[in-house]
Amino acid sequence: MVERVFVTGIGVVSAFGVGQETFWDHLARGESASRLIDSFDASQMPTRFWANALASEDELTDLLPNKRTGKLLTRANKMAMIAAEEAMGQSGIDPTTLEGSRFGISVGASGVGLVDQGMSPLDYQSSLLLATDQKRPQSEGQFWKLLLDQMHPLNPIRSIPNAISAHLAIQYQALGSCLTYTTACTSSAQAIGEAMLMLRKGRQDVMIAGGADSGTNPSNLLSFSLLGALSTNNEQFQAASRPFDRDRDGFMLGEGAAFLVLETGSHCRKRNARPLAELIGYGSASDAFRVTDEPEDARGAIRAMAMALDDARLAPGQVDHINAHGTSTRMNDPIESFAIHSVFGPAADRIPVTSTKSMIGHLVAGAGAIELVASVLAIKHKLIPPTINIEHLDPACKLDVVRGGSRAMPIQTILSNSFGFGGQNACLIIRAANEVFNHEDE
């Protein structure tokens, strides 16, 4: 028997704040979380804004389910633990009642930057002195010794990419599969999709799946600036993230975390759970093109969407809404539009499309998860949040982009797209659980 997979809990930390209610309230109102950078001197940077979470390190630590782990966690990991705790709370699952080997973790995590490696203000000051030749060490060996003396002793275990998965497993005593995916902007979408496959096969009963990233630090700002991927519209920073707009010039860095509790249908029935949605489709494909560019034929994106539809046993006309990858870069938006038309044909003109990145920025490893959580909430509230900041829809993006305010409509089925650096593509499909949960598994 192939198990069906249900979402029974969701949790979010975003640039709007902590919790799904805060997240949804701001999304539904079409508000921008863009802020000028004030945590360091960015006056000489080409991009001087981002969508950061306002909570400080101490405030995040106070919200952790186990405050003693705070010193072991990076900022992204703290947000992950907080979001997962909200998701577990909503699910109503008492982890002590679960068979540990049937309870797993699947996380999308980012590459490790200088901040995650424990770089302190003192380290930055040392680097500045070295760069300006004011305190140049006498030898390479002295340089490395200087850094060794200043690095945090917990750096090695703070910076490993699978730290989130490990801490979640320890927190909830999940003894099953403990997985980490680091596939750039597709990481958390793949983590959720692969968790779904494990649940379908009956290898696990429950999985916590999602992702987190904290790109709002000097290291990431430098990296993405070098790639030319960020908007430099500093004068209109709150309107800078404008997916599908003719005058878009790049994306906005964001940070946050989003997690979902996924369960098999049989486990839901056993405990009489009330699912929020059903996860019914997953597709994953590679462009096999260039690491930073998408092919004009959109082959990977097309295959991933087609695979997700096939997996969900849906015809193109049965999708009610698409939560687009929608990065606001010159390259992504028209190629994604082309891919949608290629897969959905005439139905593409009638399917409402939105990009939540216009409001919360790009969470990179956490993007797929937070956009799927937004999709779950869209089904719950029967409301599609808008893509904000569109003044002139790009003629190359001929889609029904929701703009000028949220759109109320009954939504049963949503496709969520994630396309990442490296040519990674992952698509997820969810549907409302209210009419299907009581049906017998096929």
**Segment 36-48, tens digit of pLDDT:** 999 889 999 999 9
321 is catalytic: no
Same-domain status, 131 and 168? no
Q: Nearest 5 degrees, angle CA 317-CA 320-CA 324?
A: 105
pLDDT value at 389 more than 80 = yes
What pLDDT score was predicted for residue 132? 57
Structure tokens at 157: 């275990």
Please say if 178 is a catalytic residue: no
d(CA 357, CA 410): 23
The active-site residue out of 167, 362, 397, 427 is 362
Q: What is the mean pLDDT of the chain?
A: 91
Residue 440 lies in a domain: no
Q: 130 and 229, same structural domain? A: no
Sequence-distant (6+) residues with CB within 8 A of 86 are 9, 10, 11, 12, 18, 19, 20, 259
Whole-structure pTM value: 0.93
Using CA atoms, how far apart are residues 424 and 185, in angstroms rounded to an integer? 8
Please count the other Cβ atoms lying within 10 Å of the Cβ belonging to residue 268. Answer: 23
Contacts of 368 (CB under 8 A, 6+ apart): 108, 185, 186, 187, 188, 189, 190, 191, 192, 211, 416, 418, 426, 428
Asked if residue 351 belongs to a domain, the reply is: yes
Which of the pair, 144 or 118, is modelled with greater confidence? 144
- 169: tokens are 């497993």
Q: Are residues 21 and 140 in the same domain?
A: no
Q: Which of 185, 268, 397, 427 is catalytic?
A: 185
Q: 438 in a domain, yes or no?
A: no
Burial of 15 (0-12, 13-18, 19+ CB in 10 A): buried
Give the mean pLDDT of 387-411: 97
CA nearest neighbour of 406 among 378, 428, 368: 378
Same domain, 135 and 279: no
Shared domain for 140 and 249, answered yes or no, is no
Q: What is the mean pLDDT of residues 89-96?
A: 97
Q: What is the pLDDT of residue 114?
A: 42
- In a domain, residue 436? The reply is no
Q: Which of residues 120 and 411 earns the better pLDDT score?
A: 411
259 in a domain, yes or no? Answer: yes
Within a domain: residue 442?
no
pLDDT over 90 (residue 112): no
Among all chains, which residue has been given the structure tokens 């002195």?
Answer: 129
Q: Are residues 179 and 227 in the same domain?
A: yes
On whether both 363 and 389 belong to a single domain, the answer is yes
The b-or-e profile of 380-414 (16+ CB within 10 A means b, else e) is beebbbbbbbbeeebeebbbebbbeebbeeebbbb
Catalytic residue among 267, 321, 325, 397: 325
Which residues have CB under 8 Å from 109's CB, separation 6+? 76, 161, 162, 163, 164, 165, 180, 181, 182, 187, 211, 212, 213, 365
Report phi then psi at 32, rounded to 5: -95, 135
Quote the pLDDT of residue 423.
92
DSSP 252-293: -BBEEEEEEEEEEHHHHHHTT---SEEEEEEEEEE--S-SS-
Beta bridge partners of 262: 7, 207
The token pair at 256 is 């946050």
In a domain, 288, yes or no: yes
For residue 32, the model assigns a pLDDT of 98
Q: How far is CA 405 from the centre of its chain?
A: 23
Looking at residue 159, what is its pLDDT?
77
337: three-class secondary structure by DSSP:
helix
Average pLDDT over residues 267-286: 97
Using alpha carbons only, give the angle 332, 338, 340 rounded to the nearest 5 degrees: 100
In the chain, the amino acid numbered 432 is: A
Q: Say if 106 falls within a structural domain.
A: yes
Indicate if the pLDDT at residue 124 is higher than 60: no
CATH code at position 14: 3.40.47.10
Residues 52 and 87 in one domain: yes
Q: Are residues 91 and 164 in the same domain?
A: yes
Based on DSSP, count helices (H) and strands (E) in the chain, helices before strands.
Answer: 14, 16
Strands 277-286 and 424-431: antiparallel
Q: Which two tokens stand for residue 248?
A: 């878009």
Q: Which domain does 389 fall in, by range?
A: 5-116+159-431
pLDDT band for 129, please (50, 70, 90 cuts).
low
pLDDT value of residue 373? 98
Residue 362 appears among annotated catalytic residues:
yes
Taking only the tens place, the pLDDT of each residue in 59-87 is 999 999 999 999 889 899 999 999 999 99
208 in the same domain as 334? yes
Torsion over CA: 78, 83, 86, 87 (sign): negative
Q: Which of 104, 130, 149 is the last residue of a domain?
A: 149
Q: How many domains does the chain have?
A: 2
Separation between Cα atoms, residue 107 and residue 168, nearest integer Å: 9
Cα distances (angstroms) measured from residue 105 to each of 15, 124, 255, 363: 25, 35, 21, 20
Both 102 and 136 in a single domain?
no
Average confidence (pLDDT) over 268-283 = 96
Asked whether residue 326 falls in the same domain as residue 405, the answer is: yes
